[in-house]
Amino acid sequence: MPKVSTKDLIEKFKLELVSGEEGINRPITTSDISRPGIELAGFFDYYPAERIQLLGKTELTFFEKLSHDEKMYRMEKLCTDITPAIIISRDMEVPPELIEASERESVPVIKSPIKTTRLSSRITNFLESKLAPTTAVHGVLVDIYGVGVLIIGKSGVGKSETALELVKRGHRLVADDCVEIRQEDDDTLIGSAPELIEHLLEIRGLGIINVMTLFGAGAIRNFKRITLVVNLELWDQTKQYDRLGLEEEKMKIIDTELTKYTIPVRPGRNLAVIIEVAAMNYRLKRMGLNAAEDFTNRLSSAIEYGEHDDI
């Protein structure tokens, strides 16, 4: 099944279908939109037929100056078997030549009252969201002080229990167990919950709980940009854990690299507070305040001062 079809576009923006109804299930494969001005002038060498074609006041005013035969030929070339739709903006009158060609090739012709530039922008944003690369990650996504924190780790390590404690402390749950992630820009990952498990948490021993019912609408979010990954793992006595925080570990999801903290789990450690502090510390680093670097610099200065003192 295609991610998005012409029919989805019609329903989303309440567009009026004029002709070519047989093609409304055509797949839309790109978020790029074409305004075929040069094509209406007769140059089709580089015609991007796979894109949505948007005709505004400029294109249609020029089209009216053409002869009847030119109008017929240009519209026949405009309507191909892979063109998902031709949209007329500003509620302008649809040329009869376009209707005839679209019916023959089953290319949907649709109208909108919205101005051309604004319509192009809205459709592009919608398609970029729908056609963005996606993946799913086993973990929990929580909004902590405005930072989207993806908590990952092996099954049974305590991800959901930690998320519950964070919600109790006033933070907001986005998704538990399965986080659906889409990459909207080169460096923007948006996480959300699958519809089936939206607002739900699974706590071993209790079962499924509805976070919104228990804690209110302020305890949940439908989606959130992911900026930090926290990996929970059982404490390994043989492993050397970072004690200063000078080096940032990275994790790649789709094409985006995220900062990753690995937090060892053992009895007596308050994971919710640690993750809360990790989110706050991450925000401070983005603002240019790095406690680890500051400590290292002061330590170096103290050592250097001590050496001079000995001399």
Q: Is 157 annotated as a binding residue?
A: yes
116 plus 170 within the same structural domain: no
76 plus 223 within the same structural domain: no
pLDDT (0 to 100) of residue 269: 84
291 plus 182 within the same structural domain: yes
Q: Locate 159 and state its tokens.
A: 């991800």
277 plus 160 within the same structural domain: yes
Q: Is 37 annotated as a binding residue?
A: no
CA dihedral 46, 51, 53, 54 (to 10 degrees): -110
Strands 86-88 and 109-111 turn out to be: parallel
113 plus 211 within the same structural domain: no
Tens of pLDDT, residue by residue, the chain (311 residues): 458 999 999 999 999 999 999 999 999 999 999 999 999 999 999 999 999 999 999 999 999 999 999 999 999 999 999 999 999 999 999 999 999 999 999 999 999 999 999 999 999 999 998 898 999 999 999 999 999 999 999 988 999 999 999 999 999 999 999 999 999 877 899 999 999 999 999 998 899 999 999 999 999 999 999 999 999 998 877 777 766 666 778 999 998 999 999 999 888 789 999 999 999 989 888 888 776 677 777 877 778 776 655 55
Contacts of residue 60, defined as CB under 8 A and 6 or more positions apart, other chains included, come to: 88, 92, 95
Q: Does residue 70 sit within a domain?
A: yes
Q: Does residue 261 sit within a domain?
A: yes
Which of 114, 130, 146 lies at the terminal end of a domain, its last residue?
A: 130
Q: Does residue 311 sit within a domain?
A: no
Q: Does residue 307 sit within a domain?
A: no
Q: Is 205 annotated as a binding residue?
A: no
The domain in which residue 114 lies consists of: 6-130
Q: Is 154 annotated as a binding residue?
A: yes
Q: Is 121 annotated as a binding residue?
A: no
Q: Locate 163 and state its tokens.
A: 């998320």
Q: Is 248 annotated as a binding residue?
A: no
Q: At what angle do helices 159-168 and 271-286 cross, to 10 degrees?
A: 70
The percent of residues above 90 in pLDDT, for the chain, comes to 76
149 plus 286 within the same structural domain: yes
Active-site annotation, residues: 138, 159, 177, 243
105 plus 19 within the same structural domain: yes
Q: Does residue 277 sit within a domain?
A: yes
| pLDDT tens digits along 199-224 | 999 998 899 999 999 999 999 999 99
Q: Does residue 1 sit within a domain?
A: no
CATH number at residue 220: 3.40.50.300
22 plus 115 within the same structural domain: yes
CATH number at residue 44: 3.40.1390.20
